Each structure stands twice: as C-alpha cells, then as structure tokens.
Amino acid sequence: MTIAPSDADARFDRTIDRWFRDHLAMRPETATYLGLHDSDDQLSHGGRDAIDEEIAFYRRTIDELSAIDAGELSADRALDRDLAVHQARLAHFWLTEYRTWAGSSGGAEHIGEALFPLFTRDFAPLPERLESIAARLEKAPELLKQTRDRVTEPVRIWTEIDIESTRQMPGFLDTILAAAGSEGADTSLVERLTRAADATKAALVDHEAWLRDDVLPRANGHWAAGPERFEEMLRLRELQATGDEILAVGEELLVSEKDAREALRREIDPSASAEEVADLVKDDHAPTFAEALNEYRESMDGARAFVVEHGLATPPEEDHLNVIETPSFIRHLIPFAAYYDPAKFDPTPVGTYIVTPPSSPDMMREHNRASISNTSVHEAYPGHHLQLSAAITNPSLVRLFSGAPEFTEGWAFYCERMMKEAGFDDTPKGWYIVHTDAIWRATRIILDVQLHRGLIGFDDAVERLISETGFERPAAVAEVKRYTSTPTYQLSYLFGRHMIERLRDDVRRAQGADFDLRRFHDTLMYAGTMPVSYARRLFELNGR
C-alpha cells in the first residue's frame, strides 16, 4: 500500500517535533537562544554524563531518521530529513572522535554563554531576566565542578584559554550587577543576584586554581586533528572537495589577492611602500573606541540602505540589530567583532553585533574606517545579520540546528566582494581592505589545513598570519588560538565563498536571461541555513 505524501509528512513532522523537544531538554541554554524561555532558570549538566547523553541522542537521530524513506516525503521534508541526519553524523563524530570536551573544561565560557542572551536581549523586562540570571548563577558553582570529571585528555593551549576565560568572567558578572543597580531592580532581587554572583566568583577562583595546579601540569600539546581525522571532517561536512583541493584554492587566491592589493597600493600612493600604504589605511580611525562604535552603527545603517536601494536582497519584516561591546569573558577569543543571531521565537527577534575594545593603543588601528565599512557588511548587511534574520523565518525546526559554516561564513565573506562590485564604499581604501581581508581568509585556509595536518606549529602560524596580513600581534595570537580547536572551520570563509559563487554562476547559466540576483540571494537566505551542497537542491541543479 502506498502512503500518501501528506501522511508521510505528518509522521515526519511528529518525529521532528519530538526530536526538537528532546534537543532542548538536553540543552536549556539553546532554548534561551531560540527565544523559548520556559527553562531560562536552568543550566545543562556539565559532566561526562551530559556528553554521553548527547552522543546517544545523535545516534538515535541517525538511526531513526535514516529509516524514513525520503521518497515518501515532500521535497522540503526530504531535505530536512537529510539535513538532520547530516548534522547528527557530524556532531557524533566530533563528540566521539575529536573530543574537544576531554581537552578543556569550558566551564566559564559555558556560564557566560548561558547568561549572555538573558542579559543582552530585551525579550522581557530586565528584572524578569535578572531573576533567570540569578537562578542560573546559583547553579554555576556546581556546573564548574561537574566539568572537571570530563577533562581526561587536557590540552595545554586550551587549558590556558580556559584559565583566561575563568579570570575574565567576574568582569562580566560585575557588568550585570551594575546594570541591576542602575535599573532600580527590587532590593531582594539585587541581593539574591549579588549572593549568586559572589558564590560564582568564589567558585571561579577555585576552578582557576584547579586548572592551574592540577590540569595544566598534566596537559599535553596535542590539539591537531591529524591528517585522517581532518579529511574525515571534510567528508562529513560534504564540502565536495579534499583537503588538497581546498588548500590549492587558498594558495591560488593568496597570490591573486596579493597582486590585486599591490595594484591598489600603487593607486593609493605610487611613491609609498607597502608598509606606508598599510599605515595610511590603518591610521584613519576615530580617536576613541566610543566614537568608533558609533561609526560601526552608522556604517551598518548605510550598508542596509544600500542593499535595499540597489535591490540586492529583501530584509525580513522583523529586522532589529544591536551593536555593543564584546563581553569581557570572550574578548581574548574575539579580537575584532562577531555576531549573535536573533532568537526565532522571541516576540521581537534582535541580532547582536559585538565589537571588541582595543587591548592596546595599536589595536585601535584594526578599527580603521575602511575596515569598519567592510566588517559591517560581513557581520550585518547583507552578511550574517540579514542572512540569519531571514533564515529564522523559515518554518523548519531542523534548519535551526543545521550549522554549516561554509554557508554562514561563506555568505558573509561573499557579501564583502559582492557589495564592492555593486558600488558600496567603492574606493581604493575600501577595496584595499577587501583584498587584505581576502588575504587573511586565504591564509586561514592554508593555516587550517597545515595546523591540523601537523605541518606547522602554533608560533609559526602566528608569524605567518602576521607576515601575510599585517595583523597586530595580539590579534594574530587570538586568531590562532581559535584555530587550534576548530579544524575545518577557518577554511569555511573563503572556500564557502568559492562554493556560493560557483552555485550562483551555475544558476545564472541555467536560468539565462531570467536570472535575477536578488531572487538568488533571497532563495538562499529564506530557505534557512544549510550546507551549500544541499542548497543546490533549492535551484534543482542536481549537482551541476
């Protein structure tokens, strides 16, 4: 007997609804990020049993959804089924094979990430959110203890990052307490919050001592994925290329982008050296970080207006973005800027664009005006914020979890060049930064592959990054620290752009005179986040 597609879809939807609830029960912090606030007072468990629970969850997902015949489902449901299985296989591999959880406790960062959306998103009056923050802080000391039993294979550099995060977390707690006092919250709530923060600070001191005195002496330096695991990660991510092929793209583009930047150097000032032109661009910055932050906001607004006026993409009806300083607990890992996507289920979804204050006077040079313009395209319009704000309008629950950095990071990087070609900030300094950032992303491909194949060490990677990009040393060190625990992520920027541009060119050839760039962009954005290889199905190209 043939099952009607509507029946199959309904059975699939029931399965996904249960899968979604199980996912959030396991990770209440994820529910908060998505705008579901019934468990805002909860923290997930931090110990090894939580890791085992996740592994079992992804194993069940693979088995249950693989047993569903995709041929019985509508095209959208079939795509969701394949996406969920893809994501589960990738997560299962990371948890069982790469095992970053065994190399670092991540306790302080876990707490910070659990508090961040409660503090920064105005989905409810601040006193209500402070109640949830206090409840999570009351559970934080126990969470820190729970994380200790899983650190069985400590990695030295990750432990050093862990110590740094632990030291910086109290500054974020002080920021929360200051806000509670200035907003006139109820005295009993402020007292409760203060007690919880003080207990967490004391637990952080103990945790730092444990990391420093117990973990660090037995930590090793083995963070590289290794050639075989790295290649398997690429296969599971379905990037449709080997490590050698991706490396070749990075090396080729490094040369071509350097040549393009050299041509711009002569255009900017033919009598100046490369170093002098770099100084001309980087020294053009606001006197203070506060003024630079305002310039970020103005540049963001200008980029959005340009996108709309030139018909490059369609913003969703709900489109809200806050620009704030990077919280203290993650500044050592985000030297420039980053973006947190809006919560799908909040009444008013708001994206959060964080910008890191300079750690030294020289670091203000990284907030130069040409860089601010390009970063705002990447992080805001039509980059991360616009893409992710559009993505959450898709009704699929699966696509909320379908992480695909070659899509999200590749899209934002794709937008940098696309906007310049359309005429936004089409100036020599503007293009100089675009090519400089492309050199950075090409270098990321090379370092990602070489670091995790064991072909280059940490210090040499820092020196290579500085020599290729001109980064200030603190920024380069922070960058390479991040690379050590995220194999295959850093290559996603440039190779993701490569995949999106190839897809765009294929769609243009297939559609001929009917091709419309805004329709292409909107189709990608509003379908939700997914690997680029899966996004091809949206255009029915069948792998062409």
Same domain, 209 and 248: no
3-state DSSP assignment of residue 13: helix
Q: In 10 A of CB 304, how many CB atoms?
A: 20
The C-alpha atoms of residue 6 and residue 14 are separated, in whole angstroms, by 12
- E strand or H helix at 507: helix 492-511
259 and 149 in a single domain? The answer is no
Alpha helices in 183-242 (DSSP H): 187-210, 216-218, 227-237
Contact by Cβ (8 Å): 230, 448: no
Is there a contact between 282 and 365 (Cβ–Cβ < 8 Å)? yes
Number of domains in the chain: 2
C-alpha to C-alpha distance for 53 and 150, rounded to whole angstroms: 13
Q: Give residue 543's pLDDT.
A: 41
Report d(CA 240, CA 238) in Å as an integer: 5
| Pairwise CA distance, residues 17 & 23, whole Å | 10
State which of 218, 236, 258 marks the end of a domain.
218
For the four alpha carbons of 173, 174, 175 and 179, in that order, the dihedral sign comes to positive
DSSP states along 517-544: HHHHHHHHHHT-S--HHHHGGGGT-TT-
In a domain, 15, yes or no: yes
434 and 485 share one domain? yes
Helix (H, G, I), strand (E, B) or coil at 30: helix
If asked whether residues 232 and 378 sit together in one domain, one would say yes
Question: Could you tell me if 87 and 234 lie in one domain?
Answer: no
Residue 466 within any structural domain of the chain: yes
Residues 143 and 283 in one domain: no
d(Cα 528, Cα 408) in Å, to the nearest integer? 10
- Are 166 and 46 members of one domain? yes
Alpha helices, H only, 269-404: 274-282, 289-309, 369-379, 384-391
- Domain containing residue 320: 228-498
Domain boundary among the residues 498, 519, 535 is at 498
Looking at the domain assignment, is residue 174 inside a domain? yes
Q: Are residues 146 and 37 in the same domain?
A: yes
Burial-class residue 373 by CB neighbours within 10 Å (0-12, 13-18, 19+).
buried
Helix (H, G, I), strand (E, B) or coil at 40: coil
Count CB neighbours of 316 within 10 A: 16
185 belongs to a structural domain = yes
Displacement of CA 260 from its chain's centroid (Å): 28
Write out 51-115 in H/E/C secondary structure.
Answer: HHHHHHHHHHHHHHHHCCCHHHCCHHHHHHHHHHHHHHHHHHHHHHHHCHHHCCCCHHHHHHHHH
Predicted structure pTM score: 0.91
Q: How far is CA 64 from the centre of its chain?
A: 29
Each residue's pLDDT, cut to its tens digit, for the chain (544 residues) gives 444 456 899 999 999 999 999 999 999 999 999 999 999 999 999 999 999 999 999 999 999 999 999 999 999 999 999 999 999 999 999 999 999 999 999 999 999 999 999 998 889 999 999 999 999 999 999 999 999 999 999 999 999 999 999 999 999 999 899 889 876 778 999 999 999 999 999 999 999 999 999 999 999 989 999 999 999 999 999 999 999 999 999 999 999 999 999 999 899 999 999 889 989 999 999 999 999 999 999 999 999 999 999 999 999 998 999 998 887 766 766 777 888 889 999 989 999 888 988 877 777 888 999 999 999 999 999 999 999 999 999 999 999 998 899 999 999 999 999 999 999 999 999 999 999 999 999 999 999 999 999 999 999 999 999 999 888 788 899 889 999 999 999 999 999 999 999 999 999 999 999 999 999 999 999 999 999 999 999 997 544 3
Using alpha carbons, list the distances in angstroms from residue 531 to 125, 237, 401, 496: 37, 8, 12, 9
Q: Which of 388, 324, 397, 404 is nearest to 356 (CA)?
A: 324
What is the model's pLDDT at position 239? 95
- Verify that 81 and 104 share a domain, yes or no: yes
Q: Does residue 270 share a domain with residue 172?
A: no
**70 and 185 in one domain?**
yes
Sheet holding 321-325, edge to edge: 321-325, 351-355, 337-340
Does the residue 539 lie in any domain?
Answer: no
Q: Coil, strand or helix: which one is 351? A: strand
Residue 508 inside a domain? The answer is: no
448 & 351 share domain = yes
pLDDT of 402: 85
pLDDT at 540: 79
CA 383 to chain centre: 12
**Distance (Å, whole) CA 262 – CA 273:** 10
- Residue 506 domain flag: no
Q: Which of 166, 190, 218 is the last residue of a domain?
A: 218
Half-sphere exposure (Cβ direction) of 543: Cα atoms closer than 13 Å:
3
Q: Which token pair is 501? A: 């541009």
What sign for the dihedral angle of Cα 369, 373, 375, 379? positive
Q: Burial code of 475-508, b = ≥16 C-beta within 10 A, e = fewer?
A: bbbbbbbbbbbebbbbbbbbbbbbbbeebbeebe
Q: 303: closest CA among 474, 171, 422?
A: 422
Any domain includes 290: yes
